[in-house]
A and B are shown apart, each in its own frame.
Chain A
């Protein structure tokens, strides 16, 4: 699914000033001790890395970042947030993981771009004794000591989408699915859940087309246009990623079909939230990114990484009715709060 980022949480550690402020000594002795303290605090053995948590995420994960920061502040941990500069930059993520291992971070919270490609680096981190929390996706690696997952409830997403499509189509019609990542188990799980619910709950609704995700909004728009040509009676479009949602919105908006063809998307963006407010998009199933970040840090801090296994977080259906509600607010964090504030308190 989507994009991610990296968050590091650091436990508070004695600083140089704390080391040297224990007693009142003569100036010369004090200078010597301070010199020694300064020397030792610059040694690698006194570095804070061993108490830090590297958080590696993908793009557009501000809510997750905020959640992680919030949890870290509350727990007195220091995190280091590393976020890919572009989507699907697996190689960069692998490099970040390997760097965290080499710099002996205590833990790693990872939102992987290419889950299978990160299997080996994560195993290296585990072998180095790091706690690892994988966020947003699952890997073929089973949960184990020091390895846990915090993911979206894909089945619930698919079910929510199916129910919303069934509602907006009033139980009959055609729906097309776009934005499927054929190489993402999460994406395929959502599709599977969606199709299953449609088939079971709305047998008069047929899934007439399924299209893979594209790499740009323009491609998504072209894909939707093709669907509209192939299936002129399609009544709803279920987009599994924000790019597919936006592409569908552009295509329908260009043909002035936003009122007739409903869009149900997955993954929230600020633009999509505004489109909901304008009733140009019917609904978005929002991931709880804030909770993902928060729970990941909590899991790390409380040592739950080895016991929790897989934590599934429920998504929220955002519609025009609740887009500005308090409940929806944590799901719609798109930028960091303004103002300078230390990550560490």
Chain B
């Protein structure tokens, strides 16, 4: 694309060219020598450039003639800016406005420096030189809407009609000169003048007064110096001070004779020609003379040549006869009567004309042009229709023919002319013909209807052409607009640069990104947008491409409008001409910054994944149903101990490393998963090349294609060797813990031995006593059975109590007692513990308080383990209060969906250090403690989804809390 500045200059240049052309055209148009020298084109029948102001002007051969005989008819041509020039022509007066024995009038000549022209006798401004019959002289004067003339110069040999004179009139500044030469005799007259307030410029023209006239060889030449002018100032007359010349009106004589009306000639000439005299006005002089009176018109053939003009009122005497309905007068002689008042046309309809009553009359009618026939340059025949009739109109002069030829078919025209029924014109097919002499006799009423076939065709073609042009222009513009829109809206940064590397175009998106103006981006200014770290590489590659002409691409960071650099992928291609020379480079850049960031994120993610797999010893893989490995993660290589640089092993190779004892199972599982299209999961061992055995957990998942077939298996393999080892260790520790708990219980049992002995001694002693009493009662005579029975009952009760104590003890110290969860009433257990610990409590020093809530729910727990927890806590509390005494308080309450048990004492309490460590194994504050009681108790409580913790009391002692989930079923 061309730079904007260059376009502006081009526009200024075009505008200047237009203005200069306009100024030159104006100067040329106003030039005083434009069109000079001038030569008429009458010989070619052309009247182009001439304008009529009255008269009836016709071209005849190489001459132009005015036959109207009116006063001051003018024919004008030339430039209004002609100043110093000379006009000349041969002039002949057609006739005179004179009567027998009377004075004659009339003149004909040439106008120069004519302006402000109008129809009328002296209706113009300019200089006129002419030959005048009245005083047989060369007349020179000036018209300024009034006539002023110099003293006329008598013309040697006089001025006569039908004689050629060569007339010259010239003007140089304010000097006016005229001369006339009789061509037959060579006799000459001239006249000169200086007009102080002269007319400076104007057109030329031909003019006559009454006489009519003929002109030929009209020439105009520019004058550069007044060579033809008299040198002596005294030779010049002064125009100012001359009197206005008023021409006398011609006095016409009348001849009385017996006059007949033209219309009546038809009756008179019924059988043979009748010698008649008619009086009428000349309506046509060529090609035939027609006269007209109030009743009709007639064609007149004169015995001798005449110089009649249209409008002449004459008397005609001759032999009248009838040709059809037309009246003709032959062998006629004429007598001029008066003036030059043309007959007005009778306005009639074509139907009236067709009936035949207006034969030979000057009529006006309207018709629509059906066709035009060009006979020659001076005759054009129009075929017209109107008022149910058809007729023709024939041009009688070249001017009329020219006008006829311009009339479009279908136009409605108003014509004035001589209505002729003569079959020579109408050709026996049309009722009449109109002979039209003057261009003024044709008026266009309305143009051809636009819907005519020709017009429609032209319009259609025009519309098609216009549509095609608009389509082309619009398409071109639209294409340019679309191309511009595309270039500016595509998600790319587009530019072009010249072969030397200077950028000449960037698109809007480029400007929007960089924030540079268009001017700021062109040339080499864009280079600042390249990241400094990339510039050396970028420009080196660019220089290489420019020198080699090879297309090139690169990834480069470009600075945006916000100062942030973004990665672009830029590609440049050269455009070559037919010779293969690079004329331009085109390039486009795509923002790949997001892709770059995504790639970095992906790489980071993959690293994280690899690290995660490494840390979790988890490898991932994918394989085809046929066993070909499609993907094999880095950790998989490590777990299976394969070289990561080698292709991933296939399934068969992998099976080689599966432990022989597991191989069949694994193989069967793989086959089963493929067969049943299910997941495959299992643990097995692998043997590495160094003999190491690893436990792995593998999961395979089939991935199905769109058609339901297994496309591939994806899965993971986890190295669970460490976990296996940990599980074994945990099992060992759990066993150890169980042993320790048993040991704890045994230990506690030792501590309880005395109490247990006392406890057991009581029922046994009671039972012995009761047995003795029973024997006594039985020994009575009679035996007191009632009392014996009561004694026996006491024996049974004591025995049962002793058995219960023994059973509880046995269960408590039983080593392999497995947890047996059941619904347990915590209140009952607390009371049982009071029974067990009864002897441990010193009633004098330790007071037991219970605070049981009303609705303590039961819990799902192992009774023995719960007893062990209570025993631990209560023994610890008793130990803490030995020697000092105190209160052992046990609270049971509900807290949410848990039962909260609190065992509180008022003993020595716990230090802050002890509070945090007393639940650790082997930590004890007692001299003979194992350090396992609280640790075991916490593990038991936590195994029951509860929590055990300790706290120090505010004043004395410590409190142990534990919670157990309430049994919702209770």
Mark A residues whose CB is within 8 Å of B. Answer: 90-91, 94-95, 98, 114, 116-117, 119-121, 123, 140-142, 177, 180, 182-183, 185, 188, 191-192, 195-196, 199, 210-212
B430 touches A119 (CB 8 A): yes
Tell me the complex Cα distance, A40–B916, Å: 125
Quick check: is B318 within 8 A (CB to CB) of the other chain? no
Whole-angstrom distance between the Cβ of A104 and the nearest chain B Cβ: 19
- With beta carbons under 8 angstroms apart, the residue of B267, B355, B430 that contacts A191 is B267
Quick check: is B268 within 8 A (CB to CB) of the other chain? yes
B357 touches A183 (CB 8 A): yes
A188 touches B270 (CB 8 A): yes
Tell me the complex Cα distance, A210–B423, Å: 27
Tell me the complex Cα distance, A195–B322, Å: 15
CB-defined contacts of B389 to chain A, threshold 8 Å: 117, 120
Chain A CB within 10 Å — which of B264, B322, B428, B431 has the most? B431
Chain B CB within 10 Å — which of A91, A121, A183, A192 has the most? A183
25 contacts between A and B (CB under 8 A): A90-B351, A90-B355, A91-B351, A94-B351, A94-B388, A95-B388, A114-B355, A116-B325, A116-B421, A119-B354, A119-B430, A123-B429, A140-B324, A140-B423, A140-B429, A180-B267, A182-B263, A182-B264, A183-B266, A183-B356, A183-B357, A188-B266, A188-B325, A195-B270, A211-B267
B432 touches A116 (CB 8 A): yes
CB-defined contacts of A116 to chain B, threshold 8 Å: 325, 354-356, 421, 431-432
Whole-angstrom distance between the Cβ of A42 and the nearest chain B Cβ: 32
Chain A CB within 10 Å — which of B266, B268, B271 has the most? B271
Chain A CB within 10 Å — which of B267, B270, B354 has the most? B270
Q: Which residue of A lies closest to B265 (CB)?
A: A182
Quick check: is B426 within 8 A (CB to CB) of the other chain? yes
- With beta carbons under 8 angstroms apart, the residue of B266, B271, B355, B426 that contacts A117 is B355
CB-defined contacts of B429 to chain A, threshold 8 Å: 119, 123, 140-141
A210 touches B268 (CB 8 A): yes
B351 touches A185 (CB 8 A): no
Tell me the complex Cα distance, A183–B352, Å: 12
On whether A120 and B271 interact (CB within 8 A), knowing A114-B355, A141-B428, A182-B263, the answer reads no
Q: How many pairs of residues, A versus B, come closer than 8 Å at their CB atoms?
A: 81
Quick check: is B315 within 8 A (CB to CB) of the other chain? no
B388 touches A120 (CB 8 A): yes
Tell me the complex Cα distance, A191–B269, Å: 10
A91 touches B388 (CB 8 A): yes
Mark B residues whose CB is within 8 Å of A. Answer: 263-264, 266-268, 270-271, 322, 324-325, 351, 354-357, 388-390, 421, 423, 426, 428-432
A140 touches B426 (CB 8 A): yes
On whether A182 and B355 interact (CB within 8 A), knowing A119-B431, A120-B430, A120-B431, the answer reads no
Q: Which residue of B lies closest to A209 (CB)?
A: B267
A117 touches B431 (CB 8 A): yes
Q: Which residue of A lies closest to B432 (CB)?
A: A116
A199 touches B271 (CB 8 A): yes
Tell me the complex Cα distance, A120–B391, Å: 9
- With beta carbons under 8 angstroms apart, the residue of B271, B356, B428, B431 that contacts A142 is B428
Tell me the complex Cα distance, A177–B268, Å: 11
Q: Which residue of A lies closest to B268 (CB)?
A: A210
Tell me the complex Cα distance, A195–B267, Å: 11
CB-defined contacts of B432 to chain A, threshold 8 Å: 116
Tell me the complex Cα distance, A4–B428, Å: 24
Tell me the complex Cα distance, A333–B357, Å: 33
CB-defined contacts of B426 to chain A, threshold 8 Å: 140
CB-defined contacts of A191 to chain B, threshold 8 Å: 267, 270-271
Q: A120-B354, A120-B389, A140-B429 are in contact. List 20 more A-B contacts (CB 8 A).
A: A90-B355, A94-B351, A116-B356, A117-B351, A117-B431, A119-B354, A119-B430, A119-B431, A120-B390, A120-B430, A123-B429, A140-B324, A140-B428, A141-B428, A141-B429, A177-B267, A182-B325, A188-B266, A192-B271, A211-B267
Whole-angstrom distance between the Cβ of B751 and the nearest chain A Cβ: 132
Q: Which residue of B lies closest to A196 (CB)?
A: B271
A210 touches B270 (CB 8 A): yes
CB-defined contacts of B354 to chain A, threshold 8 Å: 114, 116-117, 119-120
Chain B CB within 10 Å — which of A90, A120, A142 has the most? A120
Tell me the complex Cα distance, A191–B264, Å: 13
Tell me the complex Cα distance, A196–B270, Å: 9
B322 touches A188 (CB 8 A): yes
Q: Which residue of B lies closest to A190 (CB)?
A: B270
A183 touches B325 (CB 8 A): yes
Whole-angstrom distance between the Cβ of A167 and the nearest chain B Cβ: 20
Q: Which residue of A lies closest to B391 (CB)?
A: A120
Whole-angstrom distance between the Cβ of B571 and the nearest chain A Cβ: 78
CB-defined contacts of B263 to chain A, threshold 8 Å: 182, 212
B431 touches A98 (CB 8 A): no
CB-defined contacts of A182 to chain B, threshold 8 Å: 263-264, 266-267, 325
Q: Which residue of A lies closest to B352 (CB)?
A: A117
Tell me the complex Cα distance, A106–B325, Å: 32
Whole-angstrom distance between the Cβ of A224 and the nearest chain B Cβ: 15
CB-defined contacts of A183 to chain B, threshold 8 Å: 266, 325, 355-357
Q: Which residue of A lies closest to B421 (CB)?
A: A116
Whole-angstrom distance between the Cβ of A237 and the nearest chain B Cβ: 15
Whole-angstrom distance between the Cβ of A223 and the nearest chain B Cβ: 12
Q: Which residue of B lies closest to A93 (CB)?
A: B388
CB-defined contacts of B266 to chain A, threshold 8 Å: 182-183, 188
Tell me the complex Cα distance, A98–B356, Å: 21
CB-defined contacts of B270 to chain A, threshold 8 Å: 180, 188, 191-192, 195, 210
Tell me the complex Cα distance, A226–B389, Å: 38
Q: Which residue of B lies closest to A177 (CB)?
A: B267
Whole-angstrom distance between the Cβ of A200 and the nearest chain B Cβ: 10
Q: Which residue of A lies closest to B271 (CB)?
A: A195
Whole-angstrom distance between the Cβ of B388 and the nearest chain A Cβ: 5
Tell me the complex Cα distance, A211–B264, Å: 8
Whole-angstrom distance between the Cβ of B728 and the nearest chain A Cβ: 111
Tell me the complex Cα distance, A131–B844, Å: 166
CB-defined contacts of A120 to chain B, threshold 8 Å: 354, 388-390, 430-431
Chain B CB within 10 Å — which of A90, A116, A211 has the most? A116
Whole-angstrom distance between the Cβ of B438 and the nearest chain A Cβ: 26
A210 touches B267 (CB 8 A): yes
- The 8 tightest CB contacts between A and B, nearest first, are A117-B354, A195-B271, A182-B266, A210-B267, A191-B270, A116-B431, A192-B270, A114-B355
CB-defined contacts of A98 to chain B, threshold 8 Å: 388
